[in-house]
Structures are given as C-alpha cells and as structure tokens.
Amino acid sequence: MNKVLTSASEAVSLVPDGATIMMGGFGLCGIPENLIKALHERGTRDLTIISNNAGVDGFGIGVLLESRQVRKMISSYVGENREFERQCLSGELQLELVPQGTLAERIRAGGAGIGGFYTPTGYGTIAAEGKETRVLDGRPYVFERPLRADFAFVKAYRGDRLGNLTYRKTARNFNPMMATAARVTIAEVEELVEPGALDPNAIVTPGIFVRYILQGVGYEKRIERRTVRKGAAGWRPQPYWVE
C-alpha cells in the first residue's frame, strides 16, 4: 500500500466539512503545522477539533478559529488565544473543556477500544454534570466516555513509507495516542525515510495505525510563551526553539 501523499494540500482534500479532527501537540510543541495551514487554505468548515490547546492568535489552530472554520473545540488548556476567548464568550464557538489527564485518557480509551472509565477528577464540579457517578472503595468517581475522531493529524520527527513513526523529545505528547483513536490518521514528518531505516526499538507509532504520511516543510516551531530573566547590561535573549 502506498501511504505517501505528495503534500498537505492533498491530505486535507480528504477532509469534508463537519469532520471531527484530533490534532496533536502540547502548546505549540509537536503540532501538525503543515496540515493546519493547508486546512486553513482549503477553507473546510464546521469542524470539531480535539486538541489539548487551541493554538495562539495567528498560529496553529488559532488561524482556523480566526477564519471561523471551527464549530466546536474539545480541549484542556485554552488560555493563550484571545480570539478563542471572544468566540466562546459570545456563543459563536462551542466548547467542551476537559481536565488534561481526563482528555488524554479519553483519547487513549478511544484508541484501545475501551468503553469508558471512572476517574475522581472533576467529581462535584460542573465537569461532572449529567455524567454517571459511583463510589468505589469509599471514594467518588465520575464515568468518562472515550473520544474518537474521523481524522487524526499528527506530527512526528521521522517516519517511513509504511507509516512507522518516531517522535523527538516533548513532541511525543498527544500525538501517539491520537494516532490510534481516529478512523483515518494522517502523519506529517520532518524526515521521510525508506522502510528499514528506523530503529525498530525506537518506533512509537506502528504503521498499522497510520493511513497516510507526508513530508513536512518549513517548520516554525514557535514558543507559546517565552519567559526570560533580565540579564546583565548589553545581554540580549537568544532565540530558543523547542523540538
């Protein structure tokens, strides 16, 4: 099977309006920059995006929000995006806010075929409203259902033509679990290699989970929020990039 696509534009042409898409990344680290940009350029609309973050103004998922392509966000942390805040407070954007650990486990459960799980996180808060609760060994728990998607957009460091993926450092965040929890997983990689070039012991996502793969280009790898200490006179902060 030929899994290699020629471009991100070819990849997003497979995505219809109204689709649910998981997008990997933590902050701006390990996000599928090429696929997001191509999706923005294509103008696909009424999307439900499952992502830990909502990007920032003008970058990442933020560009999809600014062009009103997103109907609903299922996220954990959304505090770096003014346009997201405005749309949410005005009622233009639907939001399902999920505790971060619960979000990760719901995605993992979706990929593992698990029908749900009980967690103490969120009990007694609005996060538990309308959900089943139980007391187990004297402790209250909330029942959470798995998350699945039509598509998963994931970003990896290296991948081969069979779809096997390796990740670099903290880019191994939500990407591996999302790759297992969608009907169609599309991976963009910084380096596309031939089968056999990857160390089998280093492969995190086996190719069986990846339907399509493409060579990414032009990664910016921005920092979501850069914090530096005030240095001595004449000192200037140096550019700092996170892989």
Q: Say yes or no to pLDDT of 83 above 50.
A: yes
**Percent above pLDDT 70 for the chain:** 95
Residue 205, strand partner residues = 165
Other Cβ atoms less than 10 A from the Cβ of 11: the count is 26
Residue found by looking up tokens 């499952």 in the block = 50
Residue 160, strand partner residues = 193
28-75 confidence digits (pLDDT tens) = 999 999 999 999 999 999 999 999 999 898 999 999 999 999 999 999
pLDDT band at 2 (very low <50, low <70, confident <90, very high): confident
Return d(Cα 155, Cα 174) in angstroms, integer.
10
The average pLDDT across 213-237 equals 77
Residue 49, strand partner residues = 21, 73
Q: Say yes or no to pLDDT of 236 above 60.
A: no
- Parallel, antiparallel, or unpaired for β 182-193 and 149-160? parallel
- DSSP letters, 42-110, are HT--SEEEE-SB--BTTBTHHHHHHTT-EEEEEESB-TT-HHHHHHHHHTSSEEEE--HHHHHHHHHHH
Residue 75, strand partner residues = 97
What's residue 102's pLDDT?
97
Whether 158 contacts 198, CB under 8 Å: yes
What's residue 159's pLDDT?
98
CATH of domain 14-97+148-215: 3.40.1080.10
pTM check: above 0.85: yes
- The amino acid at residue 15 is V
Return d(Cα 82, Cα 66) in angstroms, integer.
10
